[in-house]
Structure 1
Amino acid sequence: MDTPGHRRLIDARRASDGSGVRLQRVLAREGMGALDPLLLLDDFAIADRHDTPPGFPEHPHRGFETLTLMLDGAMAHADHLGNRDLVETGEVAWMRAGRGVIHAEQPVLRNGRAHGLQLWLNLPARDKLSDPAYRRIPAAQIPRLAPTPGCRVRVIAGDLELAGTQTHGPLTEAACAPLLLDLALDPGGEFDLPATPGWRRLLYVHQGRVAIADDGIRRHQLAELDDTEGLRLTAGTEGAGALLIAARPLAEPLAHYGPFVMNTQAEIDQAIADYEAGRLTD
């Protein structure tokens, strides 16, 4: 639907993945590709009612990148490349599946909780079969800004110019060169987002509520924002936490099956055959 400041709202849907991880999943009704270059977004939260927290046992990927932002708790990462890592609160893990990666992720509770966001970002056709890679970005390396009272911004990736000063995010490897902002707003806090013509701009609210003009975006909703004008985001009475994702669409054909995202069905068939034959990561 069209409303001032944004083009449509998408409600996250309850889903389950891995070994019983319950999450909120954002996927456009038209399927992957409709929010190009974002493929999907998962919002997972695990509480201490579990004796053994559910997780994501070893599984394959090909043809895209993942980005995991830990809002609370931690995530243990292991992959076939030999990476063994622990992503703590406030940290970001980036992984390029490329031609193939096999990895496992296990939430680790801190103070009885683990909460995070994971994005799937598409790779352009030229990079679909590139070398897989992994990197953790410590929280201390992510620039923090306070452009207005009650507004805190962490620049994860891309360049953000505020008041004549440009800040560069530490994640430079993502192929779609996104702007990724982790926003925290106190009750009534405001953030002015400049126009980005030609970019797809998406705002996911994981806590509280955000208003643009007179229209609200509540928790577990993703809004596709108008890219042609500057927008003012205002938090509701409970404050808000949100992730801004902006990038130029790849505008390439897309084929998807389970953990594989390619450009054609033939490439999907090849990915399945390679995995079944044990050569996905060759």
Structure 2
Amino acid sequence: MNTSVNAVRIIPATAVREGAGVMVHRTIGTPTLRNYDPFMLLDHIGSENPNDYIAGFPSHPHRGFVTFTYMLDGRMQHQDSMGNTGNLEPGAAQWMKAASGVIHSEMPKQENGLLRGFQLWINLPAAHKMDHPEYQEFPAAAFPVVETGDYRLKVLIGRFGDVVAPIQDDLTQVTYFDVELRPGRHFQHWLPVQNTSFIYVFEGDGQFNGQNVALHSLVTADTDEGAFDFVAGKEGARFIVVSGQPVREPIVQYGPFVMNTREEIDQALADYHSNQLVRDRAWVKRKQ
């Protein structure tokens, strides 16, 4: 595999308190990487200390983008102002297209033990920012897994070869994989050259196209032929691989609102304060 590199950055995560005081490891959405079109934020929760997560994320609004939540360990309850509720168990995931407006909370459903997971924000094109909200939510068993002698790969969004995830992101063609790589083994993959792509290492360490990558680091995986080769360190490695088509439109963000103009942000704030943010009802679609 030719793994020549166009522009690769390695970005260590920054510890940030979010929600009601939840400690997260953040890479996208920091001063180092404000956004990475179409990705607006990547938070990794990972702690056995309840003080780091027990306060959760009380009721808060979103408009103009998609959130994708993937639980690794522990349980998180989702609830919104439309009457939707759901418990994300280990291995479960939820794709929430907030679009025109959602007000929801995400609260841990445990008081002790390990809580680990990710939340990714995916921007929406201007033509779809005011679409009706939508949900796609599935338990761990719904996601297909590809096993080889070198790695175990879970397909969460999109497709990997002929293997298709139950969650599809049609607007930005996002793919999202969870890869467990055995010590010293290689994971070689091609990504669309027109896409924005990254990996994030959350267990172990390794090398990306010959460059050392430490634990809790994001690598911008933009190579000139879309190819990369990740080699796991002596303890192995586990990482997510994410790719999507850039929106290439102006971004104006104010907290939980991601729009194209300041006027649209002002309107979102006015709608929220006048209880007009949630315009369209959506229901969670689940597969048992």
TM-score norm. by structure 1 comes to 0.91
8 Å CA contact 1:46, 1:53 repeated in 2: no
1:45-194 matches, cutoff 5 A: 45-50=46-51, 53-109=54-110, 112-146=113-147, 148-161=148-161, 166-173=162-169, 175-194=171-190
Secondary structure class of the residue paired with 2:9: strand
- Partner residue in 1 for 2:231: 234
Tell me, yes or no, if the aligned pair for 1:5 and 1:225 is still in contact at 8 Å: no
User: How far, CA to CA, are the matches of 2:137 and 2:41 in structure 1?
Assistant: 20
1:223 aligns with 2:216: no
- Percent identity, please: 37
Q: Partners in 1 of 2:109 and 2:116 — Cα distance?
A: 10
- Residue 173 (structure 1) shift: 4.0
Q: 2:198 is matched with which residue?
A: 202
Question: What secondary structure is seen at the aligned counterpart in 1 of 2:266?
Answer: helix
| Distance apart, 1:262 and its partner CA | 0.3
Q: Out of 39-48 and 247-256, give the one that drifted further.
A: 39-48
Which 10-residue stretch deviates more, 60-69 or 41-50? 41-50
Superimposed CA distance per residue, residues 144-168 of structure 1 (whole angstroms, 9 cap, x where no aligned partner): 001x31300011112222xxxx111
Q: Secondary structure at the match of 2:8?
A: strand
Distance 1:125 1:104 in 2: 25
Supply the AA of the counterpart residue of 2:119: Q
Task: Provide the residue aligned with 2:282 in structure 1.
Answer: none
Deviation of 1:12 after TM superposition, in Å, equals 1.4
- Counting matched residue pairs gives 274
Q: Distance in 2 between matches of 1:118 and 1:250?
A: 19
Letter in 1 for 2:133: P
Deviation of residue 174 (structure 1)? 5.3
Structure with more contact order per residue of length (Cα contacts < 8 Å, sep ≥ 6): 2
Runs of 4+ in 1 over 3 A off after TM superposition: 3-6, 28-33, 48-52
* 2:31 aligned residue: 29
Q: Runs of 5+ in structure 1 lacking a partner?
A: none
Counterpart Cα distance in 1 of 2:158 and 2:101? 26
Give 2:118's aligned amino acid.
Answer: L
1:249 maps to: 246
* Distance change in 2, residues 1:85/1:197 (3 Å): same
TM-score (norm 2): 0.89
